[in-house]
Amino acid sequence: MEELKKFKLLLFLSVIAGITGIYLSFFYDLRLLFHDLTAQYSAVIEIGETVGLEEQYIFDVKKSGKYRMLYRYWKAPLSYQNSLNNPHIKVADVITDSPYYIKDYSGNVYGNFPPSLKGFIVQKAYRNEVGVISDRYFTAGKYSLKINYLLFPPVNTDGEFNQINIKLADRHIPYTDISISIKDSAGIILKVFPHLPNYSVKKTAEGWLIKGKAKENGLVEIEMLTAKYEFNGYKQKVSNLLQKTLRANSGIVFSNLLIYGFLTVVVSFPVFIFALYSRYGREKSFTVPHFLSFIPEKSRKPYIVNLVFNGDVLEADENAFYSTLLDMHKKGIIKIEPFPSDLQIKIVRYYSEDPYEKRILQFLKKHTVDPEGMVFSSAVLESKIDRYTSQKDITALKIIKNDMDYLMKHKDITISSAFIEDTGRKIFRFTVYPVALICSIFSAVYLVAGLENSFTDTDLYPAFILSTTFVLQILPFVFSHTQLLGRWKENFYKEKLQWNSFRRFLSDLAMIKKYAPEDIVVWEEWLVYGTALGVAKKVEKVMKSLNVSIPEVNISRNTRIRFHRSYRHLTISVGKLQASQKAVSGGGFGAGGGFGGGGAGGR
């Protein structure tokens, strides 16, 4: 079944889009393509009388000759050989295979590096920075930097509980992998609150293990609630500490709601669309020859064949107009005469019971060249379009365009509904379109408002990818023919298949040669319905190869060329005038509060 094959293809594309979107959301970050320096970050926080911190960075340099310094800096004061009288971080040891340096809170520089580089370090390094340095530039590769610290943080206390919040990073290159181990040998930690864009946390025998990743400048922070304990820190009295800490960390993470909400619609859409098609779109099975050498239903008007059985059942195209003109010429209602610089159509009988043919006759009469108003001229039509365009008379141009739109893009829901039941399409629009609108708005706001950089403690990138994925998933079905999610009434689907077979026949030279008729009338009918089915050029080519000479071939070709050119010129003219008018008219147009900060980077 042709329709079933189309549905299976679209369903397959939808599933592939969903899998790709999920992969890009959770397993491969496209943003990393735009970064030539990233890092893997691991840390061990040891809770005791003095809080110890061991950090290790594995810098991944993807571009040689760009970086001379790979570093980690702090926003909090960093000391090396002395202690301070305020919250600070003290470097205990640096382990690396490369020359390293330390620049403390006051600008003093220490480390193991060639003396010739000291001036460069003094000039380039931030205060409170530890890093590795190259006398030339780092080549592409991975470089390790391990630093041991002693932390002397602010400690909030109410006499019963303590709270410590360590901000490990908030300004940094992307951390592609994060592993933070908290060792609590004294068993004093009551609760751990990680503040990272993406993470998982689990209790271990030694304490806690947090794994995750952080986008560029994403927050990496660990907040801990402990029992009463004497830390080497700087106490700050806070009342009701337990309630305040729990309240500050009790909110539902909105980004997770977005991410898993969009994930749900991405995963469920293929299931939904399959169920919808099975219930409201699947057609009965009919056996129809692959090629059909006769017109399936001669009583059908050519424009109805084009409207219903060629393309979307709700809208015809230009070929409905061209084939109807040929049919009216064949029946003697009009007489088409092509000239070198004009196409003239004489109205022989100004009457038709068919409403579409009536509109054609009315249109022809509006653009006549003779005093009696019975001979249409394409030259007259083109002259009017040129004159109204030069005069910038958009009103007159729109009147002509409205007439031609009716003929070139004909719609008649009364006719369409007689052939198709579109309940499935209506359900699709009612259920899917609102969700798609929400996804589209979120994706647009994410890009335009810069949500990527607006929140450091959450990462909306997966939600953006998934929302965009859902829009991409539904697009093939949005732009598919109405009948794909609808169902043909009676046995009209069989007739649809027959018209498809007849189109294939008219497009196949070998088959037409095999069944080539001697009757000229049959060739005329084939040309009319071939035009309605969009294969007029192929029929004309076959007739030429078989030396079938009838005036309708030249009439058909000139009719398409003249009207297509006029309609295109008209559409472009209206568009330009509307654009110029618009141009003239103008118009109008708990997390993050930790001690530490900073992060890794390169220069």
Q: Any idea which fold 35-250 has? A: Immunoglobulin-like (2.60.40)
pLDDT tens figures, 548-564? 888 888 888 999 999 99
Bridge partners, 447 (sequence order): none
Put residue 437 in one of left, alpha, beta given phi > 0 → left and psi -120 to 50 → alpha: alpha
**Which amino acid makes up residue 400?**
I
Are the C-beta atoms of residues 360 and 328 closer than 8 Å to each other? yes
Distance CA 412, CA 324 (A): 16
Structure-token match 């798609």, residue found: 436
Q: What is the pLDDT of residue 588?
A: 31
Q: What is the pLDDT of residue 333?
A: 93
For residue 556 the two structure tokens come to 């058909």
**Which amino acid makes up residue 122?**
V
| 285 three-state secondary structure | coil
Are the C-beta atoms of residues 361 and 352 closer than 8 Å to each other? yes
Write a three-state SS string for 505-562. Answer: HHCCHHHHHHCCCCCHHHHHHHHHHHHHCCCHHHHHHHHHHCCCCCHHHHHHHHHHHH
DSSP 168-229: EESS-S-EEEEEEEEE-TT--EEEEEEE-SEEEEEE-SSEEEEEEEE-TT--EEEEEEEES-
pLDDT tens figures, 283-325? 788 888 888 888 999 899 999 999 999 988 888 999 999 999 9
**Does the predicted TM-score (pTM) go above 0.75?**
yes
Domain-wise residue ranges, the chain: 2-26+258-279+424-483, 35-250, 292-419+489-584
Q: Where are the alpha helices (DSSP H) in 331-450?
A: 355-366, 378-390, 394-408, 413-419, 423-448
Q: Tell me which H or E stretch contains 89.
A: strand 88-95
401 φ/ψ angles, rounded to the nearest 5 degrees? -65, -40
**10-residue block means of pLDDT along the chain (603 residues)?**
81 93 89 90 91 94 93 92 87 93 92 91 92 92 94 88 89 92 89 86 89 88 87 85 81 75 93 91 82 89 93 89 93 92 91 91 91 89 92 90 92 90 90 92 85 74 92 90 85 89 87 80 89 90 82 88 91 85 42 67 80
Are the C-beta atoms of residues 289 and 506 closer than 8 Å to each other? no
Q: What is the pLDDT of residue 265?
A: 93
For residue 195 the two structure tokens come to 């503040």
Q: What is the pLDDT of residue 589?
A: 28
